[in-house]
């Protein structure tokens, strides 16, 4: 009998091609919701591998119920759903999908920046309201911001940050960055120096205790008057109370928010602002990137099925189970 | 000293109006309004300031026998009867180059907004629908194929930006361009059938009227996205509405319309389009540069110096 691998939602076979023939695949319900935790726990005793969307809490309770489990693969870059210590002790691999979402996230970063700079959603609402037909042309009324020669300060210069830099340079923007690596690069700035000169501050750091409220009230005060903020990282990286206050008083010109501090709840003072463009955490998620990420997960599970380490491990299990 | 009488016949930014009033005796006349007063000052008018949307006919120009310069605030001048102006001894200037970057930025803004459904996603979040479920996935832009209809200054600036997204770039123009690294297609239809996103950045007017027609849209296909930052006249808007309604193409980002500022009710109701009110050149930086250019052309004319930016001879 083939080892069993659970995918907590429904996916077409061509997204998990490396596993076909190697494992008995159990798919989650088609048409939307993912397997409940109860459903996963009920299946757990038989499972060799689990592929999930980062929604499944992988803790000691789950691991205790899954004696045959060897790998949990996340269709995501993040893996804070996993208790890595517990995984290590149980000799189980965790894996993620670095890179799979970088290009789509960088594309979406530029989409939000251009939407803000040229007031696209606001203009779209205006045209749809029929007001343009009544007002006629109003030269000057829709003046936005030209990107050429503006400075974008990229905070967090990993794969996504660098992909944003490449795109921004194609618009003639000056790129500087802050990161805990790369201090030798001439574009490197301390965070304070970056905030002081950037026309656009774009956040691409993981959520860690040290990055929670990285953009705090004190740091927003350091920002250039009339600057834009882009949060493509995680909601709690920005103190949204402080951001809302800075937008209301005009210190900042606008914000592009693909994530929210208490998503899917939106800060009421931000929701009132026409100078904010919201998207519902879709930055990395395109049809192409999702398929690519699932293929990476399937490959990671396939490697472990063949008694090799996964290609993208997030831990180093201390004792292998056999 | 008496200031020179100048006619302003179209809407331009307040900053330019202020500067014109400082230097000239400005008569503001928007066609359709204050006809009588115009007749009184018309014989004295030495210069006319219009915008890129203005219709300037031979008949209209003949009312200003003393005018010798028509300064257009904008790059497009397809509404101006340039031949009639020349015949009457009137030089025509426009404001090229300075708005290239803005138009290219807006073309990419509309491309990304349409492909990643930014205004629709913004509406989704503001309406509280995120609390009820997730937003549908869209297609990836980087690495996809971009076709540019009209590879002039603006088309090249669009290509330069698209290269940052590793897009595969090809184009159609009346003639293949030497020294460009992009694939040439001999017709808009052939181009459309080979790309995911089609951006229109041609000149307007008679030569390009209806260039993007039903056949071109069909060739673009059900995953295709159309972006128009040129002129509404370049796209057969009835065919576009039909293609969008029947999902013959996936979406559109439109800054210009056939009968603007009136926009087809059908377009206003569609979720898969992004609509902006002809703002491709609308940035503060460029308003200033365009205003400078209008003032410099007028000054050069009245000082007997060469004009900064006359429209090219046909």
CA distance A36 to A42: 10
Nearest to B118 among A121, A126, A265 (CB): A121
Nearest to B275 among A114, A128, A271 (CB): A128
Task: Note the Cα B207 to chain centre separation in Å.
Answer: 15
Residue A117, in any domain of the structure: yes
Range B205-209 contact pairs with CB under 8 angstroms and sequence separation of 24 or more: B205/B78, B205/B231, B205/B233, B206/B78, B207/B174, B208/B150, B208/B233, B208/B234, B209/B233, B209/B234
Residue B37, in any domain of the structure: yes
Q: Which of A213-217, A315-319, B40-44, B118-122 has the lowest mean pLDDT?
A: A315-319
Q: Which of B3-12, B25-34, B251-260, B281-290 has the lowest mean pLDDT?
A: B25-34
Q: What is the largest CA-CA distance in chain A?
A: 74
Cβ proximity of A37 and A50 under 8 Å: no
Candidates B72, B118, B165, partner chain A, best to mutate (most A CBs within 10 A): B118
pLDDT digits (tens, 9 = 90+) for A224-233: 999 999 999 9
Same domain, B201 and B180: yes
- Evaluated on CA atoms B299, B307, B289, B21, the torsion sign reads positive
Task: Please compute Rg for chain A using Cα positions.
Answer: 22
Which residue on chain A is closest to B260 by alpha carbon? Answer: A133
Task: Note the Cα B184 to chain centre separation in Å.
Answer: 23
pLDDT digits (tens, 9 = 90+) for B83-100: 999 999 999 999 998 999
Candidates B136, B142, B278, partner chain A, best to mutate (most A CBs within 10 A): B142
pLDDT confidence bin for B30, thresholds 50/70/90:
confident
- The answer to whether B237 is a known catalytic residue is no
Task: Please compute Rg for chain B using Cα positions.
Answer: 21
Active-site entry in B28, B94, B278, B301: B278
Q: In what order do the strands lie in the sheet with A71-74?
A: A24-27, A4-7, A47-52, A71-74, A93-95
Residues from chain B contacting residue A133 (CB–CB below 8 Å): 261-263
Number of domains in chain A: 2
Residues from chain B contacting residue A110 (CB–CB below 8 Å): 108, 112, 165
Interchain pair A137, B53: CB under 8 A: yes
Q: pLDDT at position B282, please? A: 87
Interchain pair B283, A285: CB under 8 A: no
Interchain pair B116, A107: CB under 8 A: yes
Contacts of A214 (CB under 8 A, 6+ apart): A155, A191, A203, A205, A237, A238
Q: pLDDT at position B36, please? A: 66
Q: What is the mean pLDDT of residues B282-310?
A: 95
Active-site entry in B231, B237, B287, B301: B231
Residue B27 β-bridge partners: B7
Q: pLDDT at position B314, please? A: 62
Distance from CA of B87 to the nearest CA of A (A): 30
Q: In what order do the strands lie in the sheet with B91-93?
A: B25-28, B5-8, B47-51, B69-73, B91-93
Same domain, A196 and A141: yes
Same domain, A58 and A191: no
Q: What is the mean pLDDT of chain A?
A: 94
Residue A313, in any domain of the structure: no
Q: What is the mean pLDDT of chain B?
A: 94
Q: In what order do the strands lie in the sheet with A151-155?
A: A174-178, A151-155, A200-203, A227-231, A252-257, A276-278
Cβ proximity of A139 and B11 under 8 Å: yes
Q: Residue B202 pLDDT > 50, yes or no?
A: yes
Same domain, B235 and B109: yes
pLDDT confidence bin for A161, thresholds 50/70/90:
very high
Same domain, A62 and A159: no
Q: pLDDT at position B205, please? A: 87
- The answer to whether B260 is a known catalytic residue is yes
DSSP state at residue A224: P
Distance from CA of B1 to the nearest CA of A (A): 31
Same domain, B63 and B129: no
Distance from CA of B266 to the nearest CA of A (A): 10
Residue B311, in any domain of the structure: no
Which residue on chain B is closest to A136 by alpha carbon? Answer: B261
Q: Output A221 or A138, whichever has higher pLDDT.
A: A221
Q: How many CB pairs under 8 A join A and B?
A: 200
Phi and psi (nearest 5°) for A103?
Answer: -65, -45
Same domain, B161 and B28: no
Interchain pair B105, A32: CB under 8 A: no
Same domain, A20 and A77: yes
Is cis: bond before A57, omega within 30 of 0?
Answer: no
Residue B314, in any domain of the structure: no
Residues from chain B contacting residue A175 (CB–CB below 8 Å): none
CA distance B249 to B198: 11
Domain containing A199 equals: 102-278
Residue B309, in any domain of the structure: no
Interchain pair B165, A264: CB under 8 A: no
Q: pLDDT at position B191, please? A: 98
CA distance B162 to B110: 13
Helix, strand, or coil (residue A50): strand
Residue A228, in any domain of the structure: yes
Q: Residue A220 pLDDT > 50, yes or no?
A: yes
Interchain pair B161, A170: CB under 8 A: yes
Give the percent of chain A with pLDDT over 90: 89
Same domain, B128 and B247: yes
What CATH number corresponds to the domain at position A161? 3.40.50.720
Interchain pair A287, B140: CB under 8 A: yes
Print the SS3 string covering A106-146. HHHHHHHHHHHHCCHHHHHHHHHCCHHHHHCCCCCCCCECC
Same domain, A158 and A264: yes
HSE (CB half, 13 Å, CA atoms) of B115?
33
pLDDT digits (tens, 9 = 90+) for A260-311: 999 999 999 999 999 999 999 999 989 999 999 999 999 999 999 999 999 9
Cβ proximity of A145 and A171 under 8 Å: no
Residues from chain A contacting residue B110 (CB–CB below 8 Å): 120
Residue A317, in any domain of the structure: no
Same domain, B148 and B228: yes
CA distance B111 to B43: 48
What CATH number corresponds to the domain at position B58? 3.40.50.720
CA angle B135–A96–A256, rounded 5-degree value = 40
Interchain pair A282, B161: CB under 8 A: no
Nearest Cα residue to A8 out of A43, A48, A51 = A51
Interchain pair B161, A171: CB under 8 A: yes
Same domain, A206 and A117: yes
Same domain, B213 and B238: yes
Q: pLDDT at position A60, please? A: 96
Interchain pair B13, A139: CB under 8 A: yes
CA distance A222 to A209: 22
Q: pLDDT at position A322, please? A: 41
pLDDT confidence bin for B313, thresholds 50/70/90:
confident
Tokens 């204050």, residue located = B34
Domain containing B79 equals: 5-98+284-302
pLDDT confidence bin for A14, thresholds 50/70/90:
very high
User: What are the DSSP calls for chain B, one per residue?
Assistant: -PPPEEEE-S---HHHHHHHHHHSEEEE--TTS-HHHHHHHGGG--EEEEETT--B-HHHHTT-TT--EEEEESS--TTB-HHHHHHTT-EEE---STTHHHHHHHHHHHHHHHHTTHHHHHHHHHTTGGGT-PPPPB---TTSEEEEE--SHHHHHHHHHHHTTT-EEEEE-SSPPTT--SEE-SSHHHHHTT-SEEEE----SGGGTT-B-HHHHHHH-TT-EEEE-S-GGGB-HHHHHHHHHTTSSSEEEES--TTTTS--HHHHH-SSEEE--S-TT-BHHHHHHHHHHHHHHHHHHHTTPPPS-BPPP-
CA distance B11 to B279: 14
Same domain, B80 and B116: no
Residues from chain A contacting residue B115 (CB–CB below 8 Å): 111
CA distance A301 to A299: 5
Same domain, B221 and B242: yes
pLDDT confidence bin for B161, thresholds 50/70/90:
very high
Helix, strand, or coil (residue A286): strand
Same domain, B37 and B139: no
CA distance A84 to B128: 35
Cβ proximity of B308 and B293 under 8 Å: yes
Residues from chain A contacting residue B122 (CB–CB below 8 Å): 115, 121, 277-279
DSSP state at residue A82: B
Same domain, A185 and A246: yes
Residues from chain A contacting residue B271 (CB–CB below 8 Å): none
CA distance B41 to B43: 6
Residue B55, in any domain of the structure: yes
Nearest Cα residue to A110 out of A151, A164, A157 = A164
Number of domains in chain B: 2
CA distance A303 to A70: 11
ipTM: 0.90
Range A183-192 contact pairs with CB under 8 angstroms and sequence separation of 24 or more: A189/A153, A191/A155, A191/A219, A192/A219, A192/A222
Same domain, A239 and A136: yes
- Evaluated on CA atoms A196, A200, A206, A211, the torsion sign reads positive
pLDDT digits (tens, 9 = 90+) for A78-104: 898 999 999 999 999 999 998 899 999
- Evaluated on CA atoms B45, B51, B54, B57, the torsion sign reads positive
Q: Residue B250 pLDDT > 50, yes or no?
A: yes
β-strands B145-149, B69-73 pairing: unpaired
């Amino acid at each position: 009998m083939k080892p069993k691998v659970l995918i907590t939602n429904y996916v077409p076979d061509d997204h998990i091609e490396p596993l076909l023939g190697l494992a008995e695949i159990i798919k989650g319900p088609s048409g939307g919701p993912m397997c409940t935790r109860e459903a996963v726990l009920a299946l757990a005793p038989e499972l060799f591998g689990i592929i999930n969307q980062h929604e499944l809490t992988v803790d000691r309770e789950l691991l205790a119920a899954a004696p045959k489990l060897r790998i949990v693969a996340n269709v995501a870059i993040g893996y804070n759903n996993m208790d890595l210590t517990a995984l290590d002790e149980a000799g189980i691999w965790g894996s993620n999908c670095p890179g799979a979402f970088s290009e789509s996230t960088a594309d979406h970063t530029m989409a939000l920046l251009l939407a803000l700079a040229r007031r696209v959603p606001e203009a779209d609402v205006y045209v749809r309201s029929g007001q343009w037909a009544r007002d006629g042309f109003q030269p000057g009324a829709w003046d936005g911001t030209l990107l050429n020669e503006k400075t974008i300060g990229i905070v967090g210069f990993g794969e996504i940050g660098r992909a944003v830099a490449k795109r921004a340079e194609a618009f003639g923007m000056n790129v500087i960055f802050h990161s805990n690596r790369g201090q030798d690069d001439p574009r490197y700035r301390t965070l304070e120096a970056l905030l002081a000169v950037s026309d656009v501050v774009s956040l691409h750091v993981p959520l860690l205790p040290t990055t929670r409220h990285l953009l705090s009230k004190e740091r927003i005060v350091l920002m250039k008057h009339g600057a834009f903020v882009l949060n493509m990282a995680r909601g709690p990286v920005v103190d949204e109370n402080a951001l809302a206050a800075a937008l209301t008083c005009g210190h900042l010109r606008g914000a592009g928010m693909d994530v929210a501090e208490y998503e899917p709840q939106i800060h009421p003072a931000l929701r009132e602002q026409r100078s904010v463009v919201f998207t519902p955490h879709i930055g990395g998620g395109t049809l192409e990137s999702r398929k690519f990420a699932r293929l990476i997960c399937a490959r990671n599970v396939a490697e472990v099925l063949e008694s090799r380490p996964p290609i993208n491990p997030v831990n180093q299990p201390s004792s292998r189970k056999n | 000293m008496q200031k020179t009488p100048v006619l302003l016949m179209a809407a331009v930014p307040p900053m330019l109006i202020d500067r014109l009033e400082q230097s000239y005796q400005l008569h503001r006349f928007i066609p359709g309004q204050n006809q009588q007063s115009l007749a009184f000052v018309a014989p004295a008018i030495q210069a006319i300031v219009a915008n890129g949307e203005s219709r300037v006919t031979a008949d209209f120009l003949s009312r200003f026998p003393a005018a010798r310069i028509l300064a257009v605030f904008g790059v497009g001048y397809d509404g101006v009867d340039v031949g009639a102006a020349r015949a009457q001894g009137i030089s025509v200037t426009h404001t090229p180059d300075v708005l290239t970057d803005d138009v290219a930025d807006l073309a990419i803004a509309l491309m990304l907004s349409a492909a990643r459904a930014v205004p629709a996603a913004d509406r989704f979040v503001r309406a509280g629908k995120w609390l009820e479920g997730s937003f549908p996935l869209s297609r990836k832009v980087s690495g996809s194929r971009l076709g540019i209809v009209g590879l002039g200054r603006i088309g090249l600036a669009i290509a330069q930006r698209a290269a940052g997204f590793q897009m595969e770039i090809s184009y159609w123009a009346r003639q293949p361009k030497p020294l460009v690294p992009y694939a040439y297609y001999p017709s808009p239809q052939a181009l459309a059938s080979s790309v995911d996103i089609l951006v229109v950045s041609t000149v307007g007017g008679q030569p390009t009227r209806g260039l993007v027609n039903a056949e071109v849209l069909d060739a673009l296909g059900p995953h295709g996205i159309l972006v128009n930052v040129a002129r509404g006249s370049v796209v057969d808007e009835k065919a576009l509405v039909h293609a969008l309604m029947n999902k013959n193409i996936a979406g559109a980002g439109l800054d210009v319309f056939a009968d603007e500022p009136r926009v087809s009710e059908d377009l206003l109701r569609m979720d898969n389009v992004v609509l902006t009110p002809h703002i491709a050149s609308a940035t503060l930086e460029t308003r200033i540069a365009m205003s400078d250019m209008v003032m410099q052309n007028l000054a050069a004319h009245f000082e007997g110096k060469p004009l900064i930016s006359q429209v090219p001879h046909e």
